[in-house]
Each structure stands twice: as C-alpha cells, then as structure tokens.
Structure 1
Amino acid sequence: MTSRPVRIAVQLQPQHASYEQMRDAVGRAEELGVDVIFNWDHFFPLNGDPDGKHFECWTTLAAWAEQTSRVQLGALVTCNSYRNPELLADMARTVDHVSGGRVILGIGSGWFEKDYDSYGFEFGTAGGRLNELARAIPRIESRLRMLNPAPAGPMPVLIGGGGEKKTLRLVAEHANIWHSFADVETLAHKLQVLRGHCTAVGRDFDEIEVSVGVGGRGRDGGIAGDPEVEGQPLLDLGARLFTLGASGPDYDLSVLRTWLAWRDRLNENAAG
C-alpha cells in the first residue's frame, strides 16, 4: 500500500431537513475541516418517516459546490439507473466547474426499490443493474472526453459496493476510490479479491483509495464511533478515507471533531 494521507468525509443525508438546515450543515462541516462532503442519491428518506422531507442529489451538489471553497463533493453514490450516462457525465462536469474542480463522481448500480417504483424506473434484478452499470461507465468516460469544456479537475471515480465478481471487477477497471461499509474481517477478504481483479486487468492496486463507512453509518441519524477502536483496524488494512453519516434535521457533527483530530495526529506522525 502506497503512502496516502488519512481523510475524513461526512455524508450529509438530504432527508428530514429544510434546505436552510442542510446549507448550515455544509458550512459547519467545511469549517470543521472535513476533506469530503457527500450526499446520497435517493428520492425518499431511508430512515425515520419514509415520507419525510427529502431533496434531489445532483441539484443539491450544485448548490453545495457554489457554497463551499475547499472540500471535495460527491454522491455516495449516484444511482446509475436514474440518468442517461451521457447526461450524468455532463451534469458532473458542470458541477465540477461550479466547484472549481472538486467533484468526486461516485456511482453504483442502485438498490432502493421504492425509488424505482415511485419514479417509474425498472427495478429488474441486482445482476441486471450491475450489468447496466458496467455498460454505463465506459459511456460516461467517453462523454467526459468529448465535453467542451472538459472537467475542471481530475474528477476521481468512486464506485460503491462489495460484489466480488462484478462490482470489484469494475473497481479494478475504472475506479480511483472504492467505497464499502465493510467491517474489518470483510474488508480484509474483499481487498484480497480486489487485488486479484487488479492483477487480472493489469491495474496497480495502490492507485485505488480505499474508503469505508464508519461511525454507525448514520443508521440512527447521527455520528458515533471511536476512531481508535473502529478506525485503526481498518486503517491497518489500508483504508484511508473514512466517512461518517449525519441526518437532518439537526445534522449533529459533534463526534466529527474526534475523527478529525485522529486524522491530524496520523498525518502529522506520517510526515515526521
């Protein structure tokens, strides 16, 4: 594993909050010093009131791009099923220019059936959705090369998911960042599988940043977890980007301070 700085991200879940509350949370997160602010790509809340307040992913990212000045921004993750691949490439390129080159293009195959049914998308099967993702990523890459102007920044591709035959193969072929919610034992196994795919496609495994959801994954609407207990074993395996989740309406970011202090200690020690 090549030397990478430890980074901390927060996923500000666009649910149960007014836009003013989300905007406030974005400002607080950037001021605290997070490296990345993610949202998610759903049409309804995933916890709490299933019909509660909710906002669309990429429109929100465009506003956050204008609001912020330093953090990277992205979806964790964009659902491939909801947009034509060429259109998604154009959207991401546009938001990248709004942000001054700070967009991470996070993408996955989709899974939340309520989104599909309510908005008229065909849900199909998990395997079928992954096959569609495999066909879409080259189209996105091709369109990004054609667009004028080109993206303003490097626009790293993040692929989320842990499927060993298809998803991790796509990570080896296309991703700059791989994200999962794996625990220590699972992550160790998945990384071995990913190494095998990288060898098979001729990709340097060390080019891929390993991202992990931590702190309870925001399942209870807040941020929790001790980085020394939860983060260190994942770090030892090679994880370098740690993402905590926070839900509206309040977006409690208090425990982020602990993770950011842990990041700073590790990076300072690594720098000597």
Structure 2
Amino acid sequence: MTLDLRIFTEPQQGATYTDQLAVAKAAEELGFSAFFRSDHYLAMGGDGLPGPTDAWTTLAGLARETTSIRLGTLVTSATFRHPGVLAIQVAQVDQMSGGRVELGLGAGWFAEEHSAYGIPFPAKRFGILEEQLAVITGLWGTPEGERFSFAGEHYTLSDSPALPKPTQAKIPVIVGGGGPKRTPALAARFADEYNQAFPEFSSIAARIDVVNQALAEAGREASSITHSAALVVAVGRDEAEFTRRAEAIGREPAELREHGIAGTVSEAVDRLAQVKADGVERVYLQVLDLGDLDHLELIAREVATRL
C-alpha cells in the first residue's frame, strides 16, 4: 500500500487567501491527495499579519478554484460553530467542490484565540465535541424527506429537515487526540480516520493499537478506519538547503529531525518508511513556509516517488 501524502497548512501564522490558493493549486498539480488547513484565529508566535482567514470560507473558495484535490480541516474547533450551522457549511462546501471535502473536528485547546475574538471557551469541552459529532453525522445521515431531532446536554434540535445533503454519500470525519480511552472510543463511534497530531515517533504504533482495540470493542473492523499522522516537514536537496528551510520557519535542524519529516531527501524517505511500518497510512505534511513552492515540488518529485 502506498503512503498517502497530504499538504497541511497553518494560515493563522500569516497567510492570505491568495497564498493558500497558490499552495492548494501547486499541491493539486504535483499529485498530493489533499490540501488541509488548520482552523485558528490567532497566530501562535509572531504578529500573524495580515491576519487570520476563516477555514470554511477559505475552503469554499478553494472548492471552486481546484478540480481534484481533497479539502478539509485539521481540525475545526467545536467551540467555533453551532453543529447545525457547521453541518450546513460543510455540506455546502462539499457540493461546491463536487464531493471533495473532509471534516476534522476537535474539542479546541487554544484559549487565547477565544478571548481575543470573544468566543466562549468552556473548561469542559469533550461533551460538546461528542454531541457535535452526533448532531453533524446525524443530520447528514438522515434520509431526504425524513426529520432529525436531538436532545443533549449542550444542543437540542427539533424536527430538522436535515438539509442540505452533501454530494458525497458520506463526508469523511477525522477525530484525533491523545486521551487514553475517551478519544479512541469517540473515534470508534464516529470517525473514518484517526489522526495523531505531531506524535513522538516511538509512540505511534502503540497509539494505533489503542485505537484498534476501541474499534474492536465497538464492533468495528480495524480496517474501517484510516490511521494518519500530522508531522512538520522540512526537506532539502542537501544539508545547506535543509538548513535554510529550517531557518525560514524558525526551527532548529536537530529538533526538526527529531520530530518531523526533515533533513535530506534520503532522510525524509527513511522517516516516512518508518512511519508507514508503524501502521500509519496517511501523513499530513505540515508546511509552514507557504511561499516556498519549490519545497512542495521537491517532496513530490524526489520524496514521494521513492516511497
């Protein structure tokens, strides 16, 4: 099985829609399977100029300006939108793209962006995430002509027509997180994909085992979920080029080698082969310098072809 490589961006660090469009189009032309972006409203270090872009507004634009690449979030925060509204937004973007959208959904963690933009940030958010997954998948899964109702602690929906419907028969749902039991159980209930965000390499295989056990307890086959990991990427044709790319994103070369897909081409190939051997089927390559399109071409031409 070929390792699926996707491009993952962090536009809150400072990127316009035009910057993101350029990366998405390059990724599509180079054969990456998807363009994903974070869903954040505040930079994590730096001034974030020219300011944040909204994830689903951006993806709606990209849906009309690309033709084949899949589009999604890693991950949308459950604190940002009511699940009924999010279900409509994502279904509409799926229609606009011709059925190329995926939804990563998480509980949210970045308190500062909530206070900066007046978004409530409850101390306990897991129950909110759980109900949002139930509502969104319930709305999408309700047959046309039937109604959907839901009564939870956080959300109540009464007699909803559950429209619009996505173009895809089922929009893939991505769940991730490091919790030992609740998160794997949540993934087993709702997810098509389980994502490990920036894991220590030594922990990847054990985490996959935990999720597979949760799937078994839920009566699902291990093959019914895709295992993925998000990892920072910085690759050079030689050491000098790699060092330049590390400096451009403010990271130390040794630290990148320890935690990411980093170094020379051969090092990147070896690291991806190791991740695949540990059970990962898909890697989201976190690209932090959106102006360096040559980086994407190098990965596509020299790394992906050697896997």
TM-score of the two chains, using structure 1 as the length reference: 0.87
CA distance in 2: counterparts of 1:187 and 1:115, whole angstroms: 29
Does 2:211 correspond to 1:194? yes
Where in structure 2 are the equivalents of 1:229-248 lying within 5 Å? 229-247=270-288
Output the amino acid matched with 1:140: I
Where in structure 2 are the equivalents of 1:93-172 lying within 5 Å? 93-125=91-123, 128-146=124-142, 147-153=162-168, 154-172=170-188
CA distance in 1: counterparts of 2:83 and 2:56, whole angstroms: 14
Q: 1:138 to 1:52 in 2, by over 3 A?
A: same
Q: Is the 8 A contact 2:72 2:101 kept in 1?
A: yes
Structure 1 ranges of 4+ moved more than 6 A: none
Q: Is the 8 A contact 1:22 1:248 kept in 2?
A: no
Cα deviation, residue 255, structure 1? 5.0
CA distance in 1: counterparts of 2:97 and 2:45, whole angstroms: 30
Structure 1, unmatched stretches of 5+, are 267-272
Cα deviation, residue 258, structure 1? 2.9
CA distance in 2: counterparts of 1:254 and 1:51, whole angstroms: 22
Cα deviation, residue 166, structure 1? 1.5
CA distance in 1: counterparts of 2:101 and 2:84, whole angstroms: 17
**Equivalent residue of 1:82, what SS?**
coil
Q: Is the 8 A contact 1:134 1:170 kept in 2?
A: yes
CA deviations on 1:68-97 (whole Å, 9 max, x unpaired) are 111110001010111111111111100000
Q: 1:104 to 1:253 in 2, by over 3 A?
A: farther
Output the amino acid matched with 1:133: L
CA distance in 2: counterparts of 1:205 and 1:71, whole angstroms: 26
RMSD: 2.4
Q: Which has the higher contact order (CA 8 A, sep 6+)?
A: 1
Does 2:199 correspond to 1:182? yes
Output the amino acid matched with 1:90: I
Cα deviation, residue 135, structure 1? 1.5
CA distance in 2: counterparts of 1:118 and 1:78, whole angstroms: 17
Cα deviation, residue 224, structure 1? 5.5
Does 2:7 correspond to 1:10? yes
Cα deviation, residue 167, structure 1? 1.2
Q: Is the 8 A contact 2:27 2:296 kept in 1?
A: no
Q: Is the 8 A contact 2:104 2:174 kept in 1?
A: yes
Output the amino acid matched with 2:186: L
Q: 1:253 to 1:56 in 2, by over 3 A?
A: farther
CA distance in 1: counterparts of 2:202 and 2:283, whole angstroms: 17
Q: 1:88 to 1:188 in 2, by over 3 A?
A: same
**Equivalent residue of 1:38, what SS?**
strand
CA distance in 1: counterparts of 2:203 and 2:188, whole angstroms: 18
Structure 2, unmatched stretches of 5+, are 143-161, 235-244, 252-259
Where in structure 2 are the equivalents of 1:60-79 lying within 5 Å? 60-79=58-77
**Equivalent residue of 1:214, what SS?**
strand
CA deviations on 1:204-233 (whole Å, 9 max, x unpaired) are 111111111123599937995243232111
CA deviations on 1:114-134 (whole Å, 9 max, x unpaired) are 121122233233xx2112111
Cα deviation, residue 260, structure 1? 6.0
**Equivalent residue of 1:123, what SS?**
coil
Does 2:262 correspond to 1:227? no
Cα deviation, residue 178, structure 1? 0.9
CA distance in 1: counterparts of 2:287 and 2:250, whole angstroms: 6
**Equivalent residue of 2:281, what SS?**
strand
CA distance in 1: counterparts of 2:301 and 2:229, whole angstroms: 15
**Equivalent residue of 1:254, what SS?**
helix
Q: Whose radius of gyration is greater, 1 or 2?
A: 2
